[in-house]
Chain A
Amino acid sequence: DSGVTQTPKHLITATGQRVTLRCSPRSGDLSVYWYQQSLDQGLQFLIHYYNGEERAKGNILERFSAQQFPDLHSELNLSSLELGDSALYFCASSVGWGDNQPQHFGDGTRLSIL
């Protein structure tokens, strides 16, 4: 068990809808990272937050947004969903914000768009 909790585990919705994925980092970790893993594109880094502030952006679409709250949990909001957004969404956490920090991953939210 990594100590990172993601909810829900599975989500099924329709095109055009909006969903929110939630992540609780390990106790004491200040950084949260979001990743998308699809069958055709593998793992992709989306965004990194450290102690409530955005630190780095990867291949995150404009339809997607994230935030980290004062209690350090994070939410990833996906809107105007398309079939291609079907994927596993992972959250990871680390103690600090440096690039050499070990990251601990949750078990993901599987999003299926019908």
Chain B
Amino acid sequence: KNQVEQSPQSLIILEGKNCTLQCNYTVSPFSNLRWYKQDTGRGPVSLTIMTFSENTKSNGRYTATLDADTKQSSLHITASQLSDSASYICVVSRGSGGYQKVTFGTGTKLQVIP
């Protein structure tokens, strides 16, 4: 069964600290993995997209890693800011030749406190 599991479900960290969010998937055949940030009441915002051949991708203070062998990805946030408080969603696509089947994780809710 194609599944995407994220951990932890929620996380509270102090402003300025780093944190790492995890995403494990069983989706096959793998096409790509995306990380989104979603503020409460807003649409998701794309952070990174990684294909099979990419194992690291950065977007400012956000760095995503992908290990296609173990089917794991992580999102590392450096020097957190209050504005990082949001839900972070991992999305894995399978298939090719178009926007094929996608499986969404249930997200990690991050709260950054002063």
Contact = CB atoms under 8 A, between A and B. Distances in A.
Interface of A: 2, 4, 31, 33, 42-45, 48, 55-56, 58, 90, 92, 97-108
B51 interface: yes
Contacts, number: 61
A92 B43 CA distance: 9
Contacts of A2: 43, 45
A40 to B, nearest CB: 10
Nearest to A4: B43
What is the size category of the interface that chain B forms with chain A?
20 to 34
A103 B102 CA distance: 13
A98 B89 contact: no
Q: Which of A33, A42, A43, A100 has the largest count of B CB atoms less than 10 A from its CB? A: A43
B93 A108 contact: no
Nearest to A55: B98
Contacts of A102: 46, 49
Given A31-B99, A58-B102, A107-B43, 15 more contacts: A2-B45, A4-B43, A42-B105, A45-B99, A45-B104, A55-B98, A98-B98, A99-B93, A99-B95, A99-B98, A99-B100, A100-B51, A102-B46, A102-B49, A103-B46
